[in-house]
Every structure is written in C-alpha cells, then in structure tokens.
Amino acid sequence: MYDFELVKPSTLQEAVAALKDDEAQALGGGQTLLPTMKARLAMAGKMVALSGVAEIKGICTDDAGRICIGGATTHATVAREATGFPALASLAARIGDPAVRNRGTIGGSLANNDPSACYPAGALAANAVIVTPDREIAADDYFQGMFETALDEGEIITEVKFPVPEAAAYEKFIQPASRFPLVAVFVAKFSDGVRVAVTGASSDGVFRWAEAEAALSSDFSAEAVSGLSAPDAGGMISDLHGDGAYRAHLVKVMTARAVKAAH
Amino acid sequence: MAKVTMTVNGKTRTAEAEGRTLLVEWLREGLRLTGTHVGCDTSQCGACVVHVDGEAVKACTALAQELDGAEVTTIEGMANADGSLGVVQQAFQDYHGLQCGFCTPGMVMSAAALLKENPKPTEAEVRHYLEGNICRCTGYHNIVKAVMAASGQDVAPVAAE
Ligand SMILES: Cc1cc2nc3c(=O)[nH]c(=O)nc-3n(C[C@H](O)[C@H](O)[C@H](O)COP(=O)(O)OP(=O)(O)OC[C@H]3O[C@@H](n4cnc5c(N)ncnc54)[C@H](O)[C@@H]3O)c2cc1C
Ligand code: FES
Ligand code: FES
C-alpha cells in the first residue's frame, strides 16, 4: 500500500471540507478500500476517515415511517438495530463475516456498488433515497452500472432512507469462497406494487427484473414466478463460479424463494 | 509518522505509525506482539482477528492511526493472570482444535467474541460465526467442538468428521 495522510474529522462539515482536496478519498470501514489499496489497485494522497463522524452513524425512523440509516453505520449495527425492517436487518446480518460487519458500512457498500454486493439490492428493491450533503438521489437514478453511481467526486453518503415494505425478503445464494452472493434477490411488496432487485448476476450491476415485478404485482406467489422465463442470459456475468445461463436460472429460483420467505 | 497510543491487553502502549500502517503491523512490528498472524492479502482468512473496543476486527484491514485511543485485546491477552491458558485456549488444546496453529489466534479471538455475544451457541451458530476464519489443517470439526466445549456444552453430538 502506498502511504497517505490520514485525517479524522469529527463533524460532517470537517469531512466535507477535507474531501474538497483533489487527492482526498473517503474511508468508510475500509473493508473494500484497504484490500484494494494493499493490492495497489487504488491509491489516495489523503484518506478521510468517516468513522469518527457521529452525526452520520446510527438508525432512526422519520415522520414518513422510513428507516433512516446514517452513511457510516456498520453492517453489524443495521443487523442488530434495523428491527423495523427485518428483511434489511437480515441482509446486513449475512454480509461477509462478523469482523467485516463490525467495520464495513452501508455508505461504503452503496458508494462502491460492487456488482455482487448485497446493499444495492436492498436499496433498489425498497426504492430507498440516498442522501448526500447537497441532495437526495432516488435509488432508480443512483445505480449506473458496475461500480458506477450518481455520486460526484468527493460526494459522500450521509444517510439512506428506506420506505418499509408490507412484505419483503432477501435470498442470497452464497459464493462460499468470497462470501459475497453468487446471485441474490431482494423482493419488496408495497401497497402500489412489487419491486424485485437482483445482484450478482448482471454485468451492468444491480437491476430490477421488470417481468417478475409485473407478475408479482398481480399475484404475489412463488407460482407466479415459475410461470416466467428466466431473464436473458446475454448480459449476465460469466466466470469460473457460474456461467451466464446458470446465473439467469438462479435469478428465477432466488426470486421464487424470496417471495415464499417474504413476510 | 505519528505516535499512536492504544490500551493493548490492559496496558497503555505507544508506537509510531504511518498513515498506511495497518493495526496488525503496528501490533507485530511496533509492539512485537507477534501472536496475531497474517494469512492473506485479501481480508478473507481471519488469522489476524483481534478485539477492538470489544468487537472482532480484522487487524489487517484497519489503520493504526484511525484506532488511536482504542482498547485492543490480542491472543497474548487471552491467558489467565497466572499464565495458564484461558477457557477458549484450553478447549482448543483439549479438543485438538489446532494442528499447525497458524489460524488459531484468529479462531480463538473470533470464538471469544461469539461467546461474549452468545454464551451458549448452537453448533450451526458456531459454524456461521466462524465463516470468516479459514483453517488449512483441521477440517473445522475439532474447532467447532472446542468452541462448544468452551461454552460448557456437550460436544458428543458435534459432527465427528
Ligand atoms: C471477506 C469479505 C466478505 C465480504 N462479503 C460481502 C458480502 O457478502 N456482501 C456485500 O455486500 N459486501 C461484502 N463485502 C464488502 C463489505 O460489505 C464492505 O464493507 C463494503 O463493500 C464497503 O464498505 P466500507 O465501509 O468498508 O467502505 P470502504 O472500503 O471504506 O470504501 C469503499 C468505497 O466507498 C467509498 N466510501 C466509503 N464510505 C463512503 C460514504 N459514506 N459515502 C461515499 N463514499 C464512501 C470509499 O471512498 C471507497 O471508494 C465483503 C468484504 C470482505 C473483506
Ligand atoms: S490476514 Fe487474512 S484476513 Fe487478515
Ligand atoms: S491449524 Fe493450521 S491453519 Fe488452522
């Protein structure tokens, strides 16, 4: 790892000011960034640690009943405390392993937008709002392809607001070596329709499976999914862990399981 | 370089750290506490697990400067005051939960973190909690037995092989 200067702001204002520097990069829990820097696939002149910024940590419920999670909140905290949205707490409880969950943060996961990450599926299915110091971004506009998001250079996630579905579940088919999903599906049923978000499958990153959403909005049952053909395997990730057709098949299987598990 | 001070195994310790110095480097090279191991470059093996402010953390994936002021427990802090093995360590010895011993510091620290959260875990809970600790030698069953034994539970029903 190349050396850098570490700064540890204790307020959001100081963090935003420190990130104005062209050389600066935000450090969440470091569970993705530090291994990447060790491999010298990333470097920064200045790292701005968000872990000391108390105002962007923790969980609360807003007037609209949404679960609001500070951008620097760890996966372990969400797993323990997001009791108002059990499917999301369960997603957080299955990320990586306990030590990863004790450091890794929701802001870091959504900013990174790994095509196999868990939180992007939860945020997209629940139609979450991603909050930064200057604006609010709807999940539908936020995810822009593998490792690409609507965030500008140096813009940080301060909060994520999740509307709570009537019923929801996250089904993760684990890739045991990395402990990331090989394919995972988050299903969220709202009064005005069902949203289905898929991670781990597409080379464009997390996506909504429109056909399943339409079928499940009129009949919320696993049988409604079995009537569908699997999504097009053409754009699916193909690697030594599974080819595109296998992943496409898994999308369907995991969607049906999520519908069964939803409560 | 900056001076970093933490409470390590109950004692105030200070050593220098660059911005990039990892907690595990600070412990091993700064304090010569070489019980904490490094088994990978990719944050995947768990050999380096220590407790930071009471929680299991991969010391290879945390920065020393960021943790200035923290309270850290390493494998060197797990023995009893008279030098005899702590409960988890003793159980690893009794149930042959180690062969080469390379993964053992991380296993013991993860197991201790689990037992603090969940004093009587089921076998499935032990296996789930230890997912981030890789062992090349034991095949895991004896490790799981050791953790069940350390929690005061019967190990007879644990899978034999
Ligand atoms: C062994 C292992 C297993 C894992 N398994 C899973 C898994 O199953 N599922 C899963 O989803 N993930 C998994 N992860 C990744 C983990 O969830 C990371 O915590 C997460 O991807 C990044 O969060 P972080 O806080 O550690 O961010 P960092 O590593 O600190 O940062 C990642 C990126 O986000 C930026 N960033 C950080 N915080 C913010 C913020 N608040 N606003 C804007 N930008 C920010 C950084 O600049 C960097 O570009 C795993 C990681 C490991 C090491
Ligand atoms: S050395 Fe492998 S996870 Fe830390
Ligand atoms: S005992 Fe050798 S790696 Fe676990």
Which of helix, strand or coil describes residue A181? strand
Q: What is the pLDDT of residue A234?
A: 87
Q: Which residues are bridge partners to A6 per DSSP?
A: A47
Q: What is the mean pLDDT of chain A?
A: 97
Q: What is the pLDDT of residue B158?
A: 84
The tally of domains found in chain A comes to 2
Q: What is the pLDDT of residue B90?
A: 98
Query: Is A88 inside a domain boundary?
Result: no
Q: What is the pLDDT of residue B160?
A: 65
Q: How many CB atoms lie within 10 A of CB A81?
A: 16
**Nearest CA to CA, how far is A36 from chain B (Å)?**
8
B158 vs B43, which has greater pLDDT?
A: B43
Residue B161 has pLDDT above 70, yes or no: no
With beta carbons under 8 A apart, name residues in chain B contacting A1.
20
Q: How many degrees, rounded to 5, is the angle at CA B115 between CA B111 and CA B121? A: 100
Q: What is the pLDDT of residue A143?
A: 98
- Could you tell me how far CA B64 lies from the centroid of its own chain? 17
Chain A stretch 244-263, residues whose beta carbon is closer than 8 A to a beta carbon of chain B: none
Q: Are A217 and A259 in contact (CB under 8 A)?
A: no
The 8 Å CB, 24+ separation contacts for A133-138 are A133/A12, A133/A16, A133/A158, A136/A161
Q: What is the mean pLDDT of residues B126-146?
A: 95
Residue in chain B closest to A97 (alpha carbons) equals B132
Query: Is A155 inside a domain boundary?
Result: no
With beta carbons under 8 A apart, name residues in chain B contacting A177.
44
The answer to whether A179 faces chain B, any CB pair under 8 Å, is yes
CATH number at residue A256: 3.30.390.50
**What is B87-150's CATH topology?**
DNA polymerase; domain 1 (1.10.150)
Cβ of B48 below 6 Å from ligand 2: yes
What confidence tens digit (pLDDT) does each residue in B8-41 have? 999 999 999 999 999 999 999 999 999 999 999 9
H-assigned helices in chain B: 23-25, 87-94, 104-117, 123-129, 141-150
With beta carbons under 8 A apart, name residues in chain B contacting A94.
none
**Residue A100 is nearest to which of B52, B114, B132, comparing CB atoms?**
B132
**Residue B65 is nearest to which of A6, A99, A102, comparing CB atoms?**
A6
What confidence tens digit (pLDDT) does each residue in A107-165 have? 999 999 999 999 999 999 999 999 999 999 999 999 999 999 999 999 999 999 999 99
Query: Is A41 inside a domain boundary?
Result: yes
ipTM of the complex: 0.96
Q: What's the A186 CA to ligand 2 centre distance in angstroms? A: 30
The answer to whether A99 faces chain B, any CB pair under 8 Å, is yes
Query: Is A3 inside a domain boundary?
Result: yes
Query: Is A142 inside a domain boundary?
Result: no
Count the helices and strands in chain A (H runs, E runs): 11, 12
The CATH H-level (homologous superfamily) assignment of domain B2-77 is Beta-grasp domain (3.10.20.30)
From the candidates B127, B129, B131, B134, which should be mutated to test the interface with A, based on the most A CB atoms within 10 A?
Answer: B131
Cβ of B79 below 6 Å from ligand 2: no
Instruction: Note whether B20 contacts A1, CB cutoff 8 Å.
Output: yes
One DSSP character per residue, A236-263 reads B--BTTB-HHHHHHHHHHHHHHHHHH--
Q: Looking at chain B, which residues constitute the CATH 1.10.150.120 domain(s)?
A: 87-150
Instruction: Note whether B41 contacts A8, CB cutoff 8 Å.
Output: no
Query: Is A59 inside a domain boundary?
Result: no
CATH number at residue A5: 3.30.43.10
Residue B79: CB partners within 8 Å, gap ≥ 6?
B85, B86, B89
Structural domain containing residue A38: 1-49
Query: Is A172 inside a domain boundary?
Result: yes
The answer to whether A228 faces chain B, any CB pair under 8 Å, is no
**Does the global pTM surpass 0.90?**
yes
Query: Is A130 inside a domain boundary?
Result: no
Considering only CA atoms, which of B113, B85, B106 is closest in space to residue B36?
A: B106
Q: What is the mean pLDDT of chain B?
A: 96
Cβ of B45 below 6 Å from ligand 2: yes
On the CB side of A47, CA atoms within 13 Å amount to 26
Handedness of CA B48, B51, B56, B58 (dihedral sign): negative
Residue A259 identity: V
Q: How many residues does chain B have?
A: 161
| Below-50 pLDDT ranges, chain A | none
Write the CA distances from B60 to A94, A215, B7, integer angstroms.
Answer: 21, 47, 18
**Nearest CA to CA, how far is A214 from chain B (Å)?**
36
Q: What's the B98 CA to ligand 3 centre distance in angstroms? A: 6
Q: Which residues are bridge partners to A195 per DSSP?
A: A188
Task: Give backbone dihedrals phi and psi of B56, rounded to 5 degrees, phi first.
Answer: -65, 130
Q: Which of B49, B93, B130, B136 to mutate to test the pocket of ligand 3 (most atoms within 8 A of CB)?
A: B136
With beta carbons under 8 A apart, name residues in chain B contacting A4.
19-20
H-assigned helices in chain A: 12-18, 33-38, 75-81, 86-93, 98-103, 106-112, 119-125, 139-142, 210-218, 222-226, 244-261
Q: How far apart are CA B114 and CA B126, in angstroms?
A: 8
How many A/B residue pairs have CB atoms within 8 Å? 75
**Nearest CA to CA, how far is A33 from chain B (Å)?**
9
Which domain-ending residue is among A10, A29, A49?
A: A49
Measured from the CA of B132, which atom of ligand 2 is nearest? 3
Residue B139 has pLDDT above 90, yes or no: no
Q: Are A34 and A78 in contact (CB under 8 A)?
A: no
